Amino acid sequence: MGDDLSMFLAVGALLHQLQTFNKPPSTRRIRTLIILGILIPVSIYHCWADEIYVHQITFASMVLLCGRKIRQLVRERIPNAKQKSTLLSLANGGLGKAEILIPTCWWHILTGIGAYVGMAVVEYLVTIEDGKTDKIEEGFVWPVNAVLRNLDAASSGKKTR
């Protein structure tokens, strides 16, 4: 049950970052309260009733909301069509791993990878506004660092290593 909750909270943190990015403080507070107002009761219910369906539906809904917002940010913030396609492929791969509902340890492994990829893509998308993407890939591991290195090289005209 703890592993279910950890993935639930990871996606909740990602959703929070996406929903509060570039918003005024009052909107951030309201959206934070809404997300917590959903996550906390569903988590308590999941632990108390040992029931998985509400948890899975909430988890899938959060992943879909994250995917929708990530796609919107990619369309708005990435001007180059090839870079846009590459980043969307990375995001779709991460979200696809998070959506696989295999009842084995593979679900947790793939969901963990998906959460990591999603967090890396969001970090990249919210950082590019500040112009801080130079060498951002050094903070990530494969496959994210390779994709971000290629994006950075393509935008600056450098060759990838």
In tens, the pLDDT along 4-55 reads 788 888 889 889 999 998 899 999 999 999 999 999 999 999 889 988 888 8
Share of residues in the chain with pLDDT > 70 (%): 70
Q: Which amino acid is at 95?
A: L
Give the pLDDT score at 102. 52
In tens, the pLDDT along 34-48 reads 999 999 999 999 889
Nearest to 18 by CA among 9, 8, 28, 26: 28
Q: Bin 66: left if φ > 0, else alpha if -120 < ψ < 50, else beta.
A: alpha
Give the pLDDT score at 25. 93
Nearest to 91 by CA among 73, 71, 62, 61: 71
Higher pLDDT, 94 or 124: 124
In tens, the pLDDT along 59-102 reads 889 988 988 998 899 888 888 888 888 888 877 776 656 555 55
